[in-house]
Each structure stands twice: as C-alpha cells, then as structure tokens.
Amino acid sequence: MILFYWIALMIVSFSFAGLLFRLVKGPTVADRVVALDAIGVTLVSIVALLSLIIETEFFLEVILLMSILSFIGTAAFAKFLERGEIFDRDPR
C-alpha cells in the first residue's frame, strides 16, 4: 500500500513538473495564471499523498488553507488582468 502511495506521489510530481513548464514558457500572462492555479491544486494533492505516506493527520489543515489561498490568488490575478487594479470602488 505504501508503494502505491509512493508511485502516486511520483506521478503527481511529474505532472507538477509539466505545469511548471507551462508556467515558465506560457506565451501570455493568462497562461501563467492558469498554470499557477493548477499548481496550487496539484500542491494540495501532493500534501494529501504526503500525509498518507508519513501517516500523520496534522498536514490536513494545510489542505484547506492552501485551497482557499489558491482560489483567492486566482481571483485577484483575474481581476488584475481585467481591470488593472485589484481594489477599486467603481461599481460595475
């Protein structure tokens, strides 16, 4: 069972490397934001698999925190791309 977890962690880490490739190469800013969003989600699954491997439940709080931070970062990036600023008082 532990071998299965290790193999799963390896495959997820390889997909993480592929997302890093898109983050570095991406032609536009939106490509990089998409890659960052996917990297946050993949990092969540890496933490879950790591907590399965070293058999501790203390990492599970990290999962909720990182999913929330990833969503907030993506929303802020999207708004910055669309309007050029994050905090504005202009109701549109």
Partner 1 sequence: MRNSWREGRFSIEILVDILIILLIGTGVLFSAVTALGLIRLPDVYTRTHAASKSSTLGVLSILLGTFVHFWFNEGIFNTQMVIAIAFLFITQPVAGHLIGRAAYMTGIKVAEETVRDDMGPAIEKRKNNQQEELENE
Alpha-carbon distances, residue 57 vs 1, 63, 82 (angstroms): 18, 11, 40
| CB-nearer residue toward partner 1: 18 or 88 | 18
| CB-nearer residue toward partner 1: 22 or 88 | 22
Q: Which residues contact 29 (CB under 8 A, 6 or more apart)?
A: 81
- DSSP per-residue letters across 44-56: HHHHHHHHHHTT-
CB of 90 to partner 1, least distance (A): 15
Q: Let me know: does 37 contact 70? Beta carbons within 8 Å.
A: yes
User: What residues line the site for partner 1 (CB under 8 A)?
Assistant: 1, 4-5, 8, 11-12, 14-19, 21-22, 28-31, 33-35, 37-38, 41-42, 44-45, 48-49, 51-52, 55, 57, 60-61, 63-64, 67-68, 70-71, 74-75, 77-79, 81-82
CB of 41 to partner 1, least distance (A): 5
| CB-nearer residue toward partner 1: 1 or 89 | 1
- Nearest residue to 40 via CA among 1, 4, 66, 79: 66
